[in-house]
Amino acid sequence: MLTTSKPEIFARQILDYFNLSHYFSFIGGATLGGKRSTKTDVIQYVLKSNKIENPSDVIMIGDRKHDIEGAQTNDMQSIGALYGYGSEKELYEAGANIIVPSVTHLQNLLNTIIY
């Protein structure tokens, strides 16, 4: 699933343009009218839409403090990704449970968690 603070309609267009939509079972984003405007709101929307009753079973992977803070507010674990736009300091100060420097490190970590 994907959560983004970008308007959902534009997120879908971007993912479709780059042929990435099929990698996500659900795409949730902000609304144009501002009803869902924060990462916390978008995460709540995605959880509710997918009938996820135990957010602690979900891991938020994000590259900015808003991702980490949204995960915390929704009682989720978080992984900070250094291969995005945020810095290690930003992710650490936001309270990321784990910080990974690369996609390869993330893949290895997820393999140990899932298997």
pLDDT digits (tens, 9 = 90+) for 45-74: 999 999 999 999 999 999 999 999 999 999
Instruction: Record the pTM.
Output: 0.90
Q: What is the rounded average pLDDT of the residues 66-93? A: 96
pLDDT digits (tens, 9 = 90+) for 13-28: 999 999 999 999 999 9
pLDDT on residue 113: 83
Domains annotated for the chain, with CATH where assigned, are 2-114 (3.40.50.1000)
Q: Dump the DSSP string for the chain.
A: -EEEEEEHHHHHHHHHHTT-GGG-S-EEEE-TTSSS-SHHHHHHHHHHHTT---GGG-EEEESSHHHHHHHHHTT-EEEEETTSSS-HHHHHHHT-SEEESSHHHHHHHHHHHH-
Q: Indicate the average pLDDT of the chain.
A: 95
